[in-house]
Structures are given as C-alpha cells and as structure tokens.
A and B are shown apart, each in its own frame.
Chain A
Amino acid sequence: MKTIRLSIIGFGAVGQGVARVLRNKRDYLVHLGINLLVVAVTDSHGACIDPDGLDLRAVLQRKKESGTVATSNASSLDVIKNTDHDLVIEATPTDIETGEPGLTHIIESFKHGRHVVTSNKGPLALQYKQLYNEAKKHGVIFRFEATVGGAMPILNLAHDALAGNRIISIEGILNGTCNYILSRMTEESLSYKHVLGEAQDLGIAESDPTYDVEGIDTACKLVILANAIFEMDVMYGDVEVTGITKITSEALSLANVENNVIRLIGEVQDGNKRIMRVAPRLIPKQHPLAVGGTLNVALLKTDTAGPICISGKGAGSMETASAILSDIIVICHKNT
C-alpha cells in the first residue's frame, strides 16, 4: 500500500467535490493500492492541518456550518511551504489577468517537490511554458485535466488513449453557459437578454457573465489545448475571440431554415494554417458538435484514427472532481 499525502488548496464547489469523491472512493482507491491522506485543506480564511490525515466529513461539515474550514490562520502558501506532503490540489478561483493566487501556489509547490493537480485555468492560460519548465526542473508531475471540459477527458484522450496519433485540429464547445443560452434561444425563440436572465436565476450564468458570454473562458481553454496538445507556446492574447452577446433569435431562426444551429465554437489547428479562434459558428443539426443544454463537446481530427468526438458535462462539483481524481490516480501510479 502506497500512502500519498495531499492538500486541497481552495475549498469551493470543486475543492468540496474532491473531498466528497475521495470519501466515496476510499475503498476503491485502497483496492488500487493507494492510501490517500488529506493532510491540509485551505480556503480564503485559513487552513486546517493534520499530518495524520483530516476527517473530511468533519471538514465539509465545518465549511457548511461556519463558512470556513479554518482552525488555524495559516495561509495556503504556508501550507504549501511548510506542511509535509506529496501532492497539491489547486482549486482557487481563476484570474486571467494575473493568474494569482494559483500561479504562486503552483510554482511554490513545484519548488517544494510536490506534484500538482489543478482545475484553475488562469495560471495555464498565462504561463504554460514557465509552469511546464518548473515542473520538469523539480522532477514533479503537473496535471490539469479538469481545466478543459470538466468531466470530459480531453487531455488524457489526446495524450494517452490516442497516443501515436497526430492531432490535426480540435473544434469544440467548451463553455456550458454559452451552450445553454444558445440552445434555449433556439428552442424557445427567446431573446439573448431573456435567456441570460433565466440562466442567472438558475445559477448557470454568473451575475457578471462577461467571462463566459464574451468567449474568454473558451479562449483560455483553447490556449491550454494549444499548449498541452499542440505544443504551441501561446497565450490568451493570441486567440481571436468573438462572444455570443450579439446573437439574435432571428439569426437562429434563419439558421434553422437551413437545418443549422449556432454554437460558440473554439477551434485550434496547428501546422502551416495555424488557427486559434473562438466564434459563433453554423453547425448542421445532425453534426455531433451540435449538442444542447450545458453539455460540452470536442471533435478531434487525427491523422490515423480519423475524427474522434467526446461529449460530457463541462462543469459541476462532482464532474470536475472526477477529472481531478483521474489525475491523482495517474500520479499515484507513476509514483510507485
């Protein structure tokens, strides 16, 4: 039995999802020969630390009741630097201006010889190369499946399952909020404003929806795909981005006449015709990319396997935790 000590940095929807999944899957993990000990959990108020392993049920309960996990005022950075552990799960909010606090958390983790699994897009969309090099320099593993497409295993698919294939291009719907809005507008012939309000009421869109509806979130994910799968070394600013705020219900009806739908598509293509673009596009209704609701989908064009398409839930506490768990297991296996 291999014991891996880990910390959960950031205890919101994703961090708590990870805690629940680790509790649910305890026996399964033991069966795989992995004993996971969560030695620290942090949020914006502080940390709780136990070198012998925290009782996650109690931590979840405390977060629910008092709004924080903190039993000490040690910061996330203190935990990363001073608490002895092997693996850091970074799940703090995404900031695409500075990448912080995630960027510093991740780099400090590497410097202290800790592997990192993250769902935070900011650091990757801004400083992919630096992070890649730092991880390599310190001989640790860095994985981030949860940053693109939530539960949809797109990075692992491209790297492992499709090993040996050259990926020629990826087109996909990588933002559930935009997809929900466009699907509803099409189905109900409603205006953008109306459906956005409805999505906000349902908690599908944020009160400030800019990050989603202007295509910024999709662009960040595209940058991660471009860097991680196409080895492009690009940043957020390199993507041509158009959001969905101008889409009218009339445009959707006109598309419908020709048996098309309109969806926000992220597209990345390498080679002599390098493309990195986020834009609303026309898609034939029967095309596999034409998914509805909050679903995400990606179509990978490969040189040997031909086109491969995957679809799944792009967000959600447990769904995102599933992607994080798969990364944790890979690291545990590589580490034995």
Chain B
Amino acid sequence: MIISMDLELKDIPGQLVHALIPLSDFGANIMSVLHHHDQPTPSGSIPVQVIFELKNGRLKDIITELEKNDIRVVTVGKKRLYEEVTVILIGHIVHNDMSDTIDQIDNTGFAEVVSISISMPGINEQSSASLVINAEDKNKLIEAMNILKTVAEKKNLLVIEPIENSFE
C-alpha cells in the first residue's frame, strides 16, 4: 500500500531524521519526501509530505512512534494508485458492453480505469479507444493488463500496449 503522510516538524536541525527513522524502522519504503521549508505554519513548524510504501500494515506503530518524537501527524492518506499505463483498444468496443470491460478492471480493487476516450467513425465500424489505467504498483498493473487482455480476447478486441524499454 502506498501512503501519503503530512507531518509538521519543529524548525530545528535534525528533525527530519527523527521523522524518517520510525518509518524505516517499521519497514516502510520511502518513495518521496517534500520539505516545505518556505511555507512554515503560523506556529513556525515546517510542513513535510512523505510518500512511502508499506507492506506490513504497521501504520499505527509508525504514527505512535512519530508522536513520541514530538512530530505532529497532520493527515494520513492512502495514495493507492501509483503506476499508470495508457493502452489503445480497437474493435466493437461499445457493442461489447463497454462498462463491463471497465468494471472488470475496477472490481479488482487494486486498479482502475481513470480515463477513456473513444472514437467511433460509424455504427457498424470498429471503434478505437484510449484507456488510462492506474494501479497500486507495477505488479498489480501487469495483473490488471492481463485481465484486460483476457476480456479483450473474449470480445475480439485488439489491445495495443506500450513497449517496455525506454532508451536510457
């Protein structure tokens, strides 16, 4: 699970380390830290946003530990959907129960179709659609893609996926 946490630190040296140690102690994989030094709160604290992945569910322990260190936990949000892919579908998309195709992804709970644009040239012609799918992580995204491919095969739709490798 990907978690986004807003914290407030006292504006004295060493506070950020106090905030991050409990996270790593309880097995969180820190993905990003945004330190808003330029936007102090009226009381003079520094807002910090941390995004991390946590697989062991020990969120409560982390919060307790942070508060012990005198760090204010302002909000905890589950930023679940992190990986994104755009795919194109070609075929009789609308006639083949479009909403069912989307539901099959959304019903997983770990992935969802976040946007879709359809181009329909004529009633009996094939339509084309661009779908953006988000998922919790890379593996879940692959799982969602596999579901989409299975559904598409049943409905005789062509799925065009992006290439895997970037040139870097």
Residues of A within 8 A of B (CB): 169, 171, 242, 246-248, 250-251, 253-255, 257-258, 260, 262, 265, 267, 279-284, 287-289, 299, 301, 307, 309
B126 near A: Cβ within 8 Å?
Answer: yes
Q: 18 more A-B contacts (CB under 8 A) besides A251-B119, A267-B163, A289-B167?
A: A171-B163, A246-B126, A246-B158, A248-B121, A248-B126, A250-B128, A251-B88, A251-B90, A251-B160, A255-B88, A255-B160, A260-B86, A260-B162, A262-B160, A279-B161, A282-B87, A282-B160, A299-B165
Q: Are B130 and A255 touching (Cβ within 8 A)? A: yes
Bound form: Cα–Cα A258–B130 in Å: 9
- Give the shortest distance, in Å, between B163 (CB) and chain A (any CB): 5
Residues of chain B within 8 A (CB-CB) of A299 are 165, 167
Chain B residue with the shortest CB-CB distance to A262: B160
A-B contact pairs, 5 of them (CB 8 A): A251-B128, A251-B160, A255-B130, A258-B130, A281-B163
Residues of B within 8 A of A (CB): 86-88, 90-91, 117, 119, 121, 126-130, 158, 160-168
Residues of chain B within 8 A (CB-CB) of A287 are 163, 166-167
Residues of chain B within 8 A (CB-CB) of A288 are 167
Q: Are A254 and B88 touching (Cβ within 8 A)? A: yes
Which one of A248, A283, A301, A307 lies within 8 Å of B162 (CB-CB)? Answer: A283
Bound form: Cα–Cα A267–B158 in Å: 18
Which one of B126, B127, B130 lies within 8 Å of A257 (CB-CB)? Answer: B130
A-B contact count (CB 8 A): 76
- Give the shortest distance, in Å, between A22 (CB) and chain B (any CB): 37
Residues of chain A within 8 A (CB-CB) of B167 are 287-289, 299, 307, 309
Q: Are B119 and A254 touching (Cβ within 8 A)? A: yes
Q: Are A282 and B88 touching (Cβ within 8 A)? A: yes
Residues of chain A within 8 A (CB-CB) of B127 are 250
Bound form: Cα–Cα A284–B117 in Å: 19
Q: Are B163 and A289 touching (Cβ within 8 A)? A: yes
Assess A171 versus B165: contact at CB under 8 Å? Given A247-B90, A248-B90, A262-B160.
yes
Interface centre among B90, B91, B117 (most CB of A within 10 A): B90
Chain B residue with the shortest CB-CB distance to A288: B167
Bound form: Cα–Cα A262–B127 in Å: 16
Chain B residue with the shortest CB-CB distance to A282: B162
Assess A281 versus B160: contact at CB under 8 Å? Given A246-B126, A248-B126.
yes
Residues of chain A within 8 A (CB-CB) of B121 are 248, 250
Residues of chain A within 8 A (CB-CB) of B168 are 307
Bound form: Cα–Cα A299–B166 in Å: 10
Residues of chain B within 8 A (CB-CB) of A255 are 88, 130, 160
Chain A residue with the shortest CB-CB distance to B168: A307
Bound form: Cα–Cα A257–B129 in Å: 12
Assess A169 versus B130: contact at CB under 8 Å? Given A251-B160, A262-B88.
no
Chain B residue with the shortest CB-CB distance to A280: B160
Bound form: Cα–Cα A245–B162 in Å: 18
Bound form: Cα–Cα A265–B161 in Å: 11
- Give the shortest distance, in Å, between B140 (CB) and chain A (any CB): 17
